[in-house]
A = this chain, B = another copy of it.
Amino acid sequence: MPEVYLDHYAATQVLPEVVDAMQPLLRDGFGNPSSLHGWGDSAREALEAAREKVAALIGANPAEIIFTSCGTEANNTAVKGIAGAAKKKGNHLVISAIEHFSVMHSARTLEKSGFEVATVGVDEYGMVNPEEVRAAIRQDTVLVSIMTANGETGTVQPIEEIAEIAKAKGVPFHTDAVAAAGSIPLDVNDLGVDALSLASDLMYGPKGVGALWVRKGLRMMPLLDGGVQEGGRRGGTENVPGIVGMGTAAELAAEHMDERAAYLSSMRDALIEKLPAAIPHLNLTGHPARRLPWNASFVVEFIEGEGMLLFLNMQGIAVSSGSACTSRALKGSHVLSACGIPAEVARGSLLFSFGLDNKPEDVDYVLEVLPPIVQRLREMSPLYDKFLKSGGDQNSDVQ
């Protein structure tokens, strides 16, 4: 049986070059970068070299990169830290309805300490309208945080335009680039943002590492109080092997970005073209053109995602779903809901996320395996039954 991993949005493989780069730091190079001796010194050098590579991926000054333990920590640090430091200036934030929970729930936590949060919506393609951001900004807004691209729908946001608006209004702008970094070209100065989060494990680096870039001069309270690591902006002994892995992953991502994107999007486009032809009542989610090169996301009407995942898994295919039943919290995707997709349709969500290990044949295998699975589940579904009895194919519509 083939093994077809199509869940790179949940986790990417760690590239062999990356694993190799980490090994010396896990073995002889175990020193603490803060130590004043040779062991410490080589660890510090490895750390700073990795910082330069991560900075290079996003066109940033290495001194402005803070390493964190994951994208979630980067987002918590940015949202709570920038808002917290600006408390005297105001207590209003602007985020979007499709932010990752690490941004959204950080904003909720701020609400408990007196902040107000404005949440701008998205259109049917999951796009934020910059004009809505403009309208949401107030005199007392201290932070705008809108993600660079959404991993569930693949939609890439108009970051430059939002940045321009925020800048004109004098409000710092953070963007969560966890799903985008390494996949599409990003330059913090071209984008015009003030802070940007990224993570290692979505770009073929190890888990347990993320980074936050914060433009010099922007005040931010640390989230992790402690020692003076990371310029006093993040306490805790640095995860040197992980950081070095992220550095190598970032370097490779920068070097091979175009060819990777071309390769991934060819498979993505094949699936987007052929799957709706092979399965009726299946629709693309997210933006048809402005999307991450690896993302092909759909909703399949009348059935629930978990069943599809289990059957696909039996056939060696790994994917994910934004369905309520596949989330540990048993909540449907807030992203699909923000795109206006009805709750029962969103339950049939299927997310294929391509990676460097995929082959064009993988698309064919999905096209072979998935239609009978959908058919089988629909035959069990009382919703499909009702749909057929109520006139069938004539009046189906999702979007």
A residues whose Cβ falls under 8 Å from a Cβ of B: 5, 7, 10-14, 19, 22, 26-27, 30-32, 34-40, 43, 68-73, 75-76, 100-102, 105-106, 108-109, 113, 199, 201, 206-209, 221, 223-228, 232, 235-242, 306, 309-310, 312-313, 317-321, 326-329
A100's contact among B10, B12, B226, B312, by CB below 8 Å, is which? Answer: B226
Task: Chain B residues near A312: list those with CB within 8 A.
Answer: 37
Contact A320 B224 (CB under 8 A): no
| Given the contacts A72-B227, A76-B224, A76-B225, A313 and B207 also touching, CB distance less than 8 Å | no
> What residues of B have a CB within 8 angstroms of the CB of A39 in the complex?
5, 7, 11, 318
Question: Judging by beta carbons under 8 Å apart, are B11 and A32 in contact?
Answer: yes
Q: By the criterion CB–CB under 8 Å, are A27 and B19 in contact?
A: yes
Partner of A236, one of B73, B224, B240: B73
Closest to A40 in B: B10
A236 touching B69 in the complex, CB below 8 Å, given contacts A39-B5, A306-B36, A318-B35 = yes
> What chain B residues lie within 8 Å of A329 (beta carbons)?
228, 232
Set B10, B32, B238: member contacting A35, Cβ < 8 A: B10
By beta carbon, the residue of chain B nearest A35 is: B10
In the assembled complex, the Cα of A384 lies from the Cα of B93 at a distance in Å of 59
A232 to B329: give the CA distance in the assembly, Å. Answer: 9
> Provided the pairs A226-B100, A320-B36 are in contact, do residues A207 and B239 lie with their beta carbons within 8 angstroms?
yes
**CB <8 Å contact, A238 and B14:** no
- Residue of B whose beta carbon sits closest to that of A101: B226
Which residues of chain B have C-beta atoms less than 8 A from A235's C-beta? 72, 76, 101-102, 105
Shortest CB-to-CB span from A239 to chain B, Å, is 3
Question: Is A326 in contact with B36, judged by CB distance below 8 angstroms?
Answer: yes
> B109, B242, B320: which contacts A242 (Cβ < 8 A)?
B242
Between-chain CB contacts (< 8 Å), 7 pairs: A7-B32, A11-B32, A69-B70, A70-B224, A70-B237, A73-B236, A206-B239
Contact indicator A208/B109 (Cβ below 8 Å): no
CB distance from A337 to the nearest CB of B (A): 17
The interface residues of chain B lying within 8 Å CB-to-CB of A69 are 68-70, 73, 208, 236, 239
User: Does the CB pair B72–A236 fall under 8 Å?
Assistant: yes
Question: Which of A10, A201, A207, A227: most chain B CB closer than 10 A?
Answer: A207
Given A69-B70, A113-B113, 19 more A-B residue pairs with CB atoms under 8 Å apart are A7-B35, A7-B39, A11-B32, A69-B239, A70-B237, A71-B236, A72-B226, A72-B237, A73-B224, A75-B226, A76-B226, A101-B235, A102-B235, A106-B225, A108-B225, A109-B225, A207-B240, A208-B241, A242-B242
Given A35-B320, A207-B240, is A225 in contact with B101 using a C-beta cutoff of 8 Å? yes
Instruction: Write the chain B residue with the least CB distance to A19.
Output: B26
> Closest approach, in angstroms, between the C-beta of A300 and any C-beta of chain B?
16
Nearest-CB distance from A251 to chain B (Å)? 18
Residues of chain B lying within 8 A (CB to CB) of residue A113: 113
